[in-house]
């Protein structure tokens, strides 16, 4: 069952008892998502915290020239959301799109706040989830300003080992801020070294 994947995810933080699991299960909605389907578009309000049970998503921004910039990938057993829009009700500045057919579980804002207020364990668990995402983004910023493209690619392989085989080079190149051709050159250089 999909909900069991969500319970297992919380086991990584503060495990839920049976009553807490039942409360959570009553407040999530399962959705089947097609490849290339959006669960959030720029200009919309992010109304859900989304747990990826199966599949893979990307968060990306489109600049004024129409160029897509991948900001983050999220695969199985991880969370995806646009925090600023979720908490402030401001229009999203990003898109969240399925790269593969996916199964997700979503929690609406009011349900999440109910869990925060009535079951403190949820407040702690979600705080850790957000803190982990913050650390990930902080590391990404540091890499962007101080690492070579090859170092960023090696870090990508370290951070997303399973995705390096699932994502097309164009998606990875966009995430790294380089062209697909330059990514191909980096891959060749790395294979020569090994």
Output the domain CATH number for residue 113: 2.60.120.10
In a domain, 131, yes or no: no
Query: Residue 30 is part of which domain span?
Result: 2-119
pLDDT for the residue numbered 160: 84
Q: What is the pLDDT of residue 194?
A: 76
Q: Is the pTM of this model over 0.85?
A: yes
Residue 114 lies in a domain: yes
pLDDT of res. 95: 98
* Ranges of residues in the chain whose predicted pLDDT is under 70: none
Total domain count for the chain?
A: 1
In this structure, is residue 74 part of a structural domain? yes
* pLDDT tens, position by position, 90-112: 999 999 999 999 999 999 999 99
**Does residue 98 fall inside a structural domain?**
yes
Rounded Cα distance, 108 and 146, in Å: 38
Domain-located, residue 32: yes
Which one, of 33, 81, 71, 35, lies nearest residue 53 by Cα? 33
Can you give the pLDDT at residue 162? 86
Q: What integer pLDDT is reported at residue 165 of this predicted model?
A: 86
Residue 101 lies in a domain: yes
Note whether residue 39 is domain-resident.
yes
What angle in degrees, to the nearest 10, is found between the helix axes of 180-193 and 169-176? 100
Which pairs from 59-67 meet CB under 8 Å and 24+ separation?
A: 59/94, 59/95, 59/96, 60/94, 60/95, 60/97, 60/174, 61/93, 61/94, 61/95, 62/95
């Amino acid at each position: 069952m999909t909900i069991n994947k969500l319970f297992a995810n919380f086991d990584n933080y503060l495990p839920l008892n049976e009553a807490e699991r039942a409360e959570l299960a009553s407040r999530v909605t399962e959705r089947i998502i097609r490849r290339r389907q959006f669960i959030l578009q720029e200009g919309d309000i992010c109304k859900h915290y989304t747990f990826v049970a199966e599949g893979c998503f990307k968060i990306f921004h489109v600049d004024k020239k129409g160029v897509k910039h991948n900001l983050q990938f999220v695969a199985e057993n991880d969370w995806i959301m646009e925090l600023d829009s979720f908490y402030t009700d401001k229009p999203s500045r990003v898109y969240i799109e399925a790269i593969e057919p996916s199964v997700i579980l979503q929690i609406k804002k009011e349900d999440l706040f109910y869990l925060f207020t009535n079951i403190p364990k949820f407040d702690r668990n979600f705080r850790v989830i957000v803190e982990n995402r913050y650390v990930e983004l902080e590391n990404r910023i540091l890499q962007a300003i101080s690492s070579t493209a090859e170092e960023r690619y090696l870090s990508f392989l370290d951070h997303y080992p399973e995705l390096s085989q699932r994502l097309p080079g164009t998606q990875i190149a966009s995430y790294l801020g380089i062209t697909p051709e330059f990514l191909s050159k980096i891959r060749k250089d790395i294979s020569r070294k090994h």
